């Protein structure tokens, strides 16, 4: 068949699967059958693709073709409902993927449908009012239209705020000083199939299925997506075209890889952009994020200001607040000046602690003062709710932790699906 050994169907786009089917001498409609089975039905083995003749499945297997389905090796369930998955790959490496049943407020204020849902989801997401492009009569019509939702729409609403946080690399090379993932270093890039595979595995485990269920997706797990650019972009395209997740419900976070931010702006299928700011001046940002030595704040802000935004789209800036380091009123005023005049909003994240991190979580009062200064400067600012801190699933905590030490009252549920891997 000319198929490379151990070739994975997951990660192939329609054109590549069509070529595989053609080379095998099969009718062209087999490509759609494979696409549906792998991306929508999330088949884990060739034997499960019952729409294909057994003889064809056997030939695929003999040629080394597999579905490439991701394997959930272990999962931890938080008291707040967040689930941290440890997902293993054939070479012994693993990454983490997080399911947040009610999100963490990170979408709030970005001007999208998902953002509106996050904005109204409760405490922890309040911020400056974001101007709406809709006038009141149109908004009123939309409200009327939602009063007679079909059952399918009600089902979508039930999952409207659920978010999957996925990884793009094994480890991370960016070396942010406040992030547990940085302690791993970088092992390798994930393939497009391994990125998409995380999503498919979680969707199957949670028994949800886009587009019937509206799921938000954030590339904010382990790794820097823009340092794995080609695989990340292909994965995003497959998640939209094959899995059924709308690009307006997808966000990618970058530490500030300036040339790739410019490339990203020209992509036909493009998730929303989030930039990890985390400091208000170059000296502080270089201390906290060594990537700033190569791409300074001036370069980063220029790329952000030139980024082509769609109607009602906003750039998100993420700012991790470190007690006594970058959380002073002066830092807030400097940050406001950096962002003045931009179509943006700020997500404030009080540091999620972890072993080996030499920073502390600021008091809630300092967070509130920081947010107030930004809001008074006219910049929408939202405080992301910590989700899954007790199981090391919160922002900056992903380090493939397989032993979670905690106090009894947290009652963490650990579910092992196979022997614990060495990390």
Q: Tens digits of per-residue pLDDT, 161-203?
A: 799 999 999 988 888 888 877 777 889 999 999 999 999 999 9
Is 395 a residue of the active site? yes
Coil vs helix vs strand at 320 = strand
The DSSP element (H or E) to which 232 belongs, if any, is helix 229-238
Distance CA(111)–CA(131), nearest Å, equals 8
Residues of the chain with CATH 3.20.20.70: 83-416
Distance CA(30)–CA(40), nearest Å, equals 15
In the set 96, 119, 224, 318, the catalytic residue is: 96
Is the domain spanning 83-416 CATH 2.30.40.10? The answer is no
Identify the band that residue 160 occupies on the pLDDT scale cut at 50, 70 and 90.
Answer: low
Residues of the chain with CATH 1.10.150: 14-62
* Mean residue pLDDT across the chain: 83
Under 8 Å between Cβ of 138 and 128:
no
- CA-atom Rg of the chain in angstroms: 22
Is 96 a residue of the active site? yes
**378 has pLDDT over 80:** yes
CATH class of 14-62: mainly alpha
In the prediction, which pLDDT does 412 show? 38
Identify the band that residue 108 occupies on the pLDDT scale cut at 50, 70 and 90.
Answer: low
Q: Tens digits of per-residue pLDDT, 258-297?
A: 999 999 999 999 999 999 999 999 999 999 999 999 999 9
In the prediction, which pLDDT does 112 show? 52
Query: Would you call 62 exposed, middle or buried from its count of C-beta atoms within 10 A (0-12, 13-18, 19+)?
Result: exposed
Q: What percent of the chain has pLDDT over 70?
A: 76
**154 has pLDDT over 70:** no
Query: Would you call 123 exposed, middle or buried from its count of C-beta atoms within 10 A (0-12, 13-18, 19+)?
Result: exposed
């Amino acid at each position: 068949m000319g198929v490379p050994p151990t070739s994975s169907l997951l990660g192939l786009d329609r054109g590549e699967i069509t070529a595989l089917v053609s080379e095998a001498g099969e009718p062209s409609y087999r490509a759609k059958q494979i696409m549906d089975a792998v991306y929508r039905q999330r088949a884990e083995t060739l034997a499960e693709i019952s729409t294909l003749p057994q003889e064809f499945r056997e030939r695929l297997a003999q040629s080394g073709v597999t579905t490439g389905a991701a394997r959930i090796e272990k999962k931890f369930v938080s008291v707040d409902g967040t689930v941290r998955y440890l997902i293993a790959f054939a070479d012994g490496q693993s990454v983490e993927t997080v399911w947040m049943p009610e999100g963490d407020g990170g979408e709030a204020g970005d001007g999208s449908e998902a953002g509106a849902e996050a904005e109204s989801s409760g405490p922890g997401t309040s911020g400056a009012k974001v101007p709406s492009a809709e006038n009141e009569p149109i908004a009123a019509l939309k409200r009327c239209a939602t009063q007679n939702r079909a059952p399918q729409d009600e089902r979508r609403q039930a999952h409207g705020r659920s978010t999957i946080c996925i990884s793009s690399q094994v480890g991370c090379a960016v070396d942010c000083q406040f992030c547990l993932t940085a302690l791993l270093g970088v092992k390798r890039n994930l393939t497009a199939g391994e990125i998409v595979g995380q999503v498919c595995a979680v969707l199957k485990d949670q028994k949800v299925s886009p587009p019937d269920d509206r799921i938000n997706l954030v590339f904010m797990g382990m790794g820097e997506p823009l340092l794995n650019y080609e695989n990340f972009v292909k994965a995003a395209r497959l998640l939209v075209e094959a899995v059924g997740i709308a690009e307006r419900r997808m966000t990618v976070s970058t530490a500030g890889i300036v040339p790739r931010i410019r490339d990203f702006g020209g992509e036909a299928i493009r998730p929303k952009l989030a930039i990890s700011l985390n400091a208000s001046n170059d000296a502080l940002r270089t201390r906290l994020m060594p990537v700033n030595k190569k791409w300074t704040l001036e370069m980063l802000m220029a790329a952000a200001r030139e980024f082509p935004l769609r109607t009602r789209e906003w750039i998100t800036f993420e700012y991790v607040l470190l007690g006594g380091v970058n959380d002073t009123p002066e830092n807030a005023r400097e940050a406001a000046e950096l962002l003045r005049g931009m179509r943006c909003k700020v997500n404030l994240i009080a540091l999620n602690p972890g072993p080996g991190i030499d920073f502390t979580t600021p008091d809630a009062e300092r967070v509130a003062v920081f947010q107030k200064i930004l809001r008074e400067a006219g910049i929408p600012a939202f405080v992301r709710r910590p989700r899954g801190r007790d199981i090391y699933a919160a922002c900056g905590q992903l380090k493939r932790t397989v032993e979670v030490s905690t106090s009894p009252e947290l009652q963490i549920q650990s579910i092992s699906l196979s022997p614990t891997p060495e990390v």
